[in-house]
Amino acid sequence: MEKLKKYVSVKDEDHFYHQGAVELLIFNFLLILTILTIWLFKNHRFRFLHETGGAMLYGLVMGFILRYVTKSPDVESGTVYECEKLKSGPSTLLINITNQVYEYQYKREISHHNVNGHQGNAMLQKMTFDPSIFFNILLPPIIFHAGYSLKKRHFFRNLGSILTYAFLGTAISCIVIGLIMYGFVKAMVHIGQLKQWEFHFTDCLFFGSLMSATDPVTVLAIFHELNVDTDLYTLLFGESVLNDAVAIVLTHSISIYSPKENPNAFDAAAFFQSVGNFLGIFAGSFAMGSSYAVVTALISFMHLTKFTKLCEFPMLETGLFFLLSWSAFLSAEAAGLTGIVAVLFCGVTQAHYTYNNLSPDSKMRTKQLFEFMNFLAENVIFCYMGLALFTFQNHIFNPLFIFGALVAVFVARASNIYPLSFLLNLGRKQKIPRTFQHMMMFSGLRGAIAFALAIRDTDSQPKQMMFTTALLMVFFTVWVFGGGTTPMLTWLQIRVGVDPDEDLKARAASQSAPNLDKNTTKAESAWLFRIWYGFDHKYLKPLLTHTGPPLTSTLPEWCNPVARLLTSPRAYGDQLKDGDTVYIINNDELTENYESSAHIPVPAQDSTASIQATGKEDIQEGDLGLGGYKLQLQHTADQPQNSSLA
């Protein structure tokens, strides 16, 4: 008898294994289908559907089939069992059922009104995977890749504008959406669709913050393919990357905003605590992410130049790089910070320092590895979004709320882009033209982050309504705006086919002629940037990489023994070796920029050498981002090998 039971349990377990396999197989099948379709589209140069849009479409179809065509293998009754002995839910529960002990693991808390909707089609239930998977597994590689492939050269040229859009813009967007939604909620209460106490102003702000995370992956892919104007590309890419970080931390801060009394009234103490939380979490995550990257840079630097050669073992080097970057994410999570933000800044710092220390083989490996992970994770998320419309069981479709969200998102985007562009243009030498502003307005797509933030909490009815609405907004923006990118570019007559390096060269040449209005760029940010640039170039780069001037020339004389010990022997010799004419022309701009910062004393004998070294290396890094994107999107015929080897 005992024997028999054991075999039954083994059978059950087997059945469980196979179930998991079937679900993953469905995902694989959808992704394969997506790849084949997209390959077909790319081949015929159809640009109205990006792979993410395709993945979403197939997910939608599969979700429909799973929901309405397949029969549920075992419908469980929504019975709730009572347990008087337990005071709270333990993480593991042992239950004796007909003399057999079973172990159950805590999954989540369920609101009473969800109990019935929750049970049902077992297949659907299994396709709905844990929201934490998004935050812990799927998002980190996407965000890291974004940071790692940032075109730093162009990014820093537009740093002020990008920061303004990302921080101020996201805050504006969050508040505007929150206010408009609050208006709609009031209206819904008025016509009786909603009860007053269900939906607070903080809930509206929460919705505003999660809907403020833009994800123009479709637009950026097309921009890259068509080589759209570099400044526009950089503005949009930079904004979307940083804006994700801001939106995530903002959402977190709002969700832990807890006024003491009436949740609807304004509580100054709680408000300032939220602001403090935001700043603390953001700064902490930033510090965590960059310090891991600095550690990686130090290890790879030590191994590369001073002591021995890690670069002889590219697998170990790549492994170390991967594990330390992942540790940045995990440490931030473990410390109660935001892992996604940490991993973003870790990526940026890794690209800035560590990348220079890696062996050529590891440079390629790390780039391709994260590119591939990004590709897979992105498609899985968009596939899942399509599926979620049918597999998620607690959707609340409220037409008024959805319409409100549509209006709010547009108004918020407009009141973010146009006023801020106007302000920025007051300070910028290179103005942001009207057409760029329209294009940025148009590129306010919502995607993975908004979805992941919305699905994180779907316990209460307001949250379910928000989730449904966010999902529909993603569908709408990705298909309509994503598909409309190419016509929009044509209509706005934005120039395409720009070679970013040529562009920069031309601009540098034109700038060096009228040397007067150098400091027209917004004074303070330029000053800050110059201070940072000087510090980075003179101390951090030589310390962490083998580029830049030797520390012996930048540190005061009495530090010489230490400096000699810390500087890479390569820094003395290699800097002038392969100075190409293109690089030298490009460096003019940086030279002037650098020398015009009068606060920093430049040792005369080293200035030329050091500047050339910097310029050279910046180009390399610019190429990193470029190469990464080229490889992902299209292996252009004119650069068959260079981009993959650079």
**Cβ atoms 299, 95 nearer than 8 A:** no
**Cβ atoms 198, 461 nearer than 8 A:** yes
Please state, in angstroms and rounded to a whole number, the distance separating the CA atoms of residues 108 and 115. 12
Least separation, in Å, of the C-beta of 228 and a copy of itself? Answer: 20
**Cβ atoms 387, 151 nearer than 8 A:** no
Nearer to a copy of itself, 311 or 389 (CB): 311
Nearer to a copy of itself, 95 or 279 (CB): 95
Least separation, in Å, of the C-beta of 82 and a copy of itself? Answer: 5
Least separation, in Å, of the C-beta of 536 and a copy of itself? Answer: 26
- For residue 448, the one-letter residue type is A
Chain Cα centroid distance, residue 245: 7
Nearer to a copy of itself, 391 or 610 (CB): 391
Nearer to a copy of itself, 520 or 634 (CB): 634
Least separation, in Å, of the C-beta of 70 and a copy of itself? Answer: 15
Please state, in angstroms and rounded to a whole number, the distance separating the CA atoms of residues 177 and 420. 17
Least separation, in Å, of the C-beta of 368 and a copy of itself? Answer: 6
Nearer to a copy of itself, 368 or 620 (CB): 368
First to last CA, the chain: 67
Nearer to a copy of itself, 262 or 515 (CB): 262
Please state, in angstroms and rounded to a whole number, the distance separating the CA atoms of residues 95 and 196. 41
Please state, in angstroms and rounded to a whole number, the distance separating the CA atoms of residues 70 and 391. 12
Please state, in angstroms and rounded to a whole number, the distance separating the CA atoms of residues 389 and 405. 17
Least separation, in Å, of the C-beta of 7 and a copy of itself? Answer: 6
Nearer to a copy of itself, 608 or 644 (CB): 644
**Cβ atoms 208, 171 nearer than 8 A:** no
Q: Which residues of 632-645 are buried (b: 16+ CB within 10 A; e: fewer)?
A: beeeeeeeeeebee
Please state, in angstroms and rounded to a whole number, the distance separating the CA atoms of residues 423 and 401. 32
User: Looking at the DSSP assignment, which residues form a beta bridge with residue 459?
Assistant: none
**Cβ atoms 582, 391 nearer than 8 A:** no
Nearer to a copy of itself, 336 or 561 (CB): 336
Please state, in angstroms and rounded to a whole number, the distance separating the CA atoms of residues 342 and 382. 23
Helix extents (H) in 134-229:
139-148, 152-157, 159-163, 170-190, 201-210, 217-226
Nearer to a copy of itself, 273 or 525 (CB): 273
Nearer to a copy of itself, 137 or 480 (CB): 137
Least separation, in Å, of the C-beta of 512 and a copy of itself? Answer: 38
Those residues with Cβ within 8 angstroms of residue 490's Cβ, 6 or more apart along the chain or in another chain: none
Place of tokens 């870790």: 346
Nearer to a copy of itself, 113 or 431 (CB): 113
Q: Please state, in angstroms and as integers, the Cα–Cα distance from residue 67 to each residue in 58, 120, 121, 394, 396, following that order.
A: 14, 11, 8, 13, 17
Interhelix angle for 139-148 vs 607-633, to 10°?
A: 140
